[in-house]
Structure 1
Amino acid sequence: MTGPDGTERGDGTDGPETVSLGEFTFECGESIPELEIAYETYGDFTGDNAVLVCHALTGSAHVAGGRRRTDTAGQAHAWWDDIVGPGKAVDTTEYYVICANVPGSCYGSSGPPSTNPETGEPWGTDFPAVTVADWTRAQRRLLDHLGIPHLHAVIGGSVGGMNVLEWVKRHPDHVDRAISVAAAARLDPQCLALDAIAQRAITTDPNWSGGDYYGGDPPTGGLALARQIGHVMYLSKSSMADKFGRRSAGIDAGRDTFEMDPAAGFFPYREVESYLDYQGEKFAKRFDANSYLYLTRAMDNYDLASGYENDTDALAAFDGEALLLSFTGDWHFTVEQSEVLADAFRASGTDTAHHVIDSDHGHDAFLVEPDRVGPPVADFLEAGIRGKAVTDTDASEEGDEFAPVHTSLFSD
């Protein structure tokens, strides 16, 4: 795999590379002496084929190639392997793909668990507050280091889709095509409220110790609860009904994860509880509690219109094309929010397609339905909004309130 400088780089199977980008001043005004960014690249660079993939909240730079890797787990482990790779929607035989772990995370880039060079100890909560704008600036600096001045496309899902929007806003001349999947211009109050509860679950865990828990017992209980709240946000009512119903799990072993009240023994331990306990416990073993606080606050704070009169003004300098994907069962980032964003793009004069997928999977659909996400992404990367899988479902072309779903595009 050949990078912009002609050197051979990894293909994602050997783990991330880490580069020091020097002193970095965050949007909050605080600085660190060395910003380290973990990143992976895939494919060969030809000068005009670079695609930046922005990961979601707890993702990593390891976007693909997971079948030969064992050092990450859960969502961070090859989290879009069905979308990125040879012959896939983001075809690494055609595009040079870059994915970087964002500052504030715990998968190789500078963040609360990384070492403060002045003390030799983990930063903890002394690490500066991070924003989505900081992620974008760090990615731009990484691309400068790699010798990539311009992107064919930038793509991301969930808060990674917000990262995409910030690229369009902050570097409109550096991107030809933008793909924002299951995202919005800002969180709504309900999601802000749920994130606040998740954050409080961490900070009220006695082991959090004001964020200074490194070397001791981490706040795994609080982090597990925070992740459970997240999982409820990512699923839809119908998917939870189909997956769990009100069925009993048949065992009480999972109740050891959290202390239960005495009366609980009279009632069934339900499958939905067992699922949440398992997911929470697994997540608490792989992720850092402070990083979860930092990243959720960055997502909560994001507002596309910040510094501008409105969303349209924020997008006005962009001269490329935009594709928005949304899912009918997603109440975290709704179809309506995507359509508002699509209207802002159109009002700015941007050629825009909004592709709506009929799905019961909720917010997780962008990760678990590659057969539906892949076709419009592949067509848009190749042909922009003129791609068949894009224009056939484009609300602006059809005249519908939202883009209809053509299931024939995704049938076996």
Structure 2
Amino acid sequence: MSATEVDRGVVELGEFRFECGESIPNLEIAYEAYGEFTGDNAVLVCHALTGSQNVASYNTPGTAGQARAWWGDIVGPGKAIDTTDYYVVCANVPGSCYGSSGPSSTNPETGEPYGTDFPPVTISDWTRAQRRLLDHLGVGRLRLIIGGSVGGMNVLEWAKQFPDDAELIAPVAAAATLDPQCLAIDAVARRAIRSDPNWNGGDYYGGDDADASPPQQGLAIARQLGHIMYLSKASMERKFGRRSAGRDSGIEGSDALFPPDKAAAFFPYREVESYLDYNAEKFTERYDANSYLYLTRAMDDYDLAEGHGTIERAISAFEGEALLLSFTSDWHFTVAQSETLAEAFRAADVPVAHHVVDSDHGHDAFLVEPENVGPPVRDFLTNGLDGRAITDTAADDEEPIEDGDEDFAPVHSSLFSG
């Protein structure tokens, strides 16, 4: 298979027991793979919350936005993760809705979608499912495991659960746990979905009920909360300010999702509202509300230290090197949280660098700034921590990084020239 060709499919892995103790008779995992496997050149990419296995492909039915080619500027021929040199695999996690088993999948015992009868999923379940997929593909030890956001948590779980299975790991914009503010926002998002009258206890897929329809309004509000969490104040000011969009620039159907009150005609419909409405509308066309409930709970529940007492002990058996990337304006997964991880790796005598990128794009920076993400990833993949574009930004500081502390030297894109 050439570097530009895509091997895609759905693999049946047989019975799978989830961490909760429940089982399903046949776990299906959708995946994509790029490049040729030579035995020691495999890279596993872990997708973010509502991403998919389509890490670098555009022409996949049913995907759009961040589900389609969501890291196409990082993965591909001649790119940071070069599919000319590496065999790159990305798997859709259990509980999602892009081909892997999840709430919208058919329950073989009933012939109907599982809905909320699908077992609760955890990041540990994702990791074990990925390991079984790689076994099926004939891949043993990996050169690199990399992922952003909750995908970075997935990477950390690999280091904890399968410490011998990767030479390198790169959690990007991630943390060992989610903080209480983000937990609160996710809780409100799930309440929005469950409060939608169309949610119907998770049984909204139709079947014999021709009038059933998905809880689009609840899912749209949940997605809007997510978008707010992913952006920074600076990026929102730059993108939207307080500018009026005008009602005519709103998307078709937005009033159906969010009907305006009578007084709304007197006040401006702002660009930031139009942005949120547009993205929410598009998201409801491609994503399953129950999957959103399931995957946010998996993210919220994750605690790297669980079962070991401390982060240091949880990752102490990992035998490779780690590169952590964080972004200065990311308040979803902060620089301080990444530095806490870096300190744990150092304490466990695991070689690590914490590379801080100066950015005002918020959490979305790991998706929209390939010029800042690509160079350190490329060098790490090729040379490990000896890569010239890798800077352990925090290791040389006399004081640990705290939230809001700017007494560290951020890494600028100018360092990556040449």
- TM-score normalised by length of structure 2: 0.93
Residue 262 of structure 1 and its aligned partner are, at CA, apart by 2.1
* Aligned partner (choices 77, 83, 95) of residue 86 of structure 2: 95
Where in structure 2 are the equivalents of 1:307-318 lying within 5 Å? 307-318=307-318
Structure 1 residue 196 and structure 2 residue 187: aligned?
A: yes
Kept after mapping to 2: 8 A contact 1:52/1:155: yes
* Aligned partner (choices 40, 44, 56) of residue 48 of structure 1: 40
Aligned mates of 1:155, 1:181 — CA distance in 2: 7
Kept after mapping to 2: 8 A contact 1:354/1:403: no
Q: Which amino acid aligns with 1:82?
A: D
Residue 398 of structure 1 and its aligned partner are, at CA, apart by 6.8
Residue 405 of structure 1 and its aligned partner are, at CA, apart by 1.0
Where in structure 2 are the equivalents of 1:201-280 lying within 5 Å? 201-215=192-206, 216-251=212-247, 253-254=250-251, 256=255, 257-280=257-280
Aligned mates of 1:17, 1:37 — CA distance in 2: 8
Structure 1 residue 110 and structure 2 residue 101: aligned?
A: yes
Q: Which amino acid aligns with 1:230?
A: G
Question: Residue by residue, what CA displacement relative to the aligned partner does 1:200-236 show, whole Å, maximum 9, x if unpaired?
Answer: 0000000000000001210000000000000000000
Question: Residue by residue, what CA displacement relative to the aligned partner does 1:157-179 show, whole Å, maximum 9, x if unpaired?
Answer: 00000000000000001111000
Structure 1 residue 25 and structure 2 residue 21: aligned?
A: no
Q: Which runs of 5+ in 1 are unaligned?
A: 3-8
Kept after mapping to 1: 8 A contact 2:9/2:31: yes
Aligned mates of 1:297, 1:73 — CA distance in 2: 23
Aligned mates of 2:293, 2:199 — CA distance in 1: 11
Aligned partner of residue 176 in structure 1, secondary structure = strand
Aligned mates of 1:80, 1:152 — CA distance in 2: 19
Aligned mates of 2:49, 2:155 — CA distance in 1: 13
Q: Which amino acid aligns with 2:346?
A: R
Aligned mates of 1:212, 1:250 — CA distance in 2: 37
Aligned partner of residue 390 in structure 2, secondary structure = helix
Where in structure 2 are the equivalents of 1:166-205 lying within 5 Å? 166-205=157-196
* Aligned partner (choices 401, 408, 415) of residue 409 of structure 1: 415
Q: Which amino acid aligns with 2:414?
A: S
Aligned partner of residue 324 in structure 1, secondary structure = strand
Aligned mates of 1:276, 1:124 — CA distance in 2: 27
Aligned mates of 2:227, 2:68 — CA distance in 1: 17
Structure 1 pair 211–69 and aligned structure 2 pair: CA distance change class (3 A) = closer
**Identical aligned pairs, as a percentage?**
71
Aligned mates of 1:406, 1:101 — CA distance in 2: 33
Structure 1 pair 400–41 and aligned structure 2 pair: CA distance change class (3 A) = farther
Aligned mates of 1:168, 1:236 — CA distance in 2: 30
Kept after mapping to 1: 8 A contact 2:323/2:353: yes
Q: Which residue of 2 aligns with 1:362?
A: 362
Question: Residue by residue, what CA displacement relative to the aligned partner does 1:80-111 show, whole Å, maximum 9, x if unpaired?
Answer: 00000011000111111110000000000000
Question: Residue by residue, what CA displacement relative to the aligned partner does 1:232-261 show, whole Å, maximum 9, x if unpaired?
Answer: 000000100111111111225555130222
Residue 69 of structure 1 and its aligned partner are, at CA, apart by 4.2
Structure 1 residue 122 and structure 2 residue 113: aligned?
A: yes
Q: Which runs of 5+ in 2 are unaligned?
A: 207-211, 401-407
Question: Residue by residue, what CA displacement relative to the aligned partner does 1:42-92 show, whole Å, maximum 9, x if unpaired?
Answer: 1111111110000000011110032x4454211101110000001100011
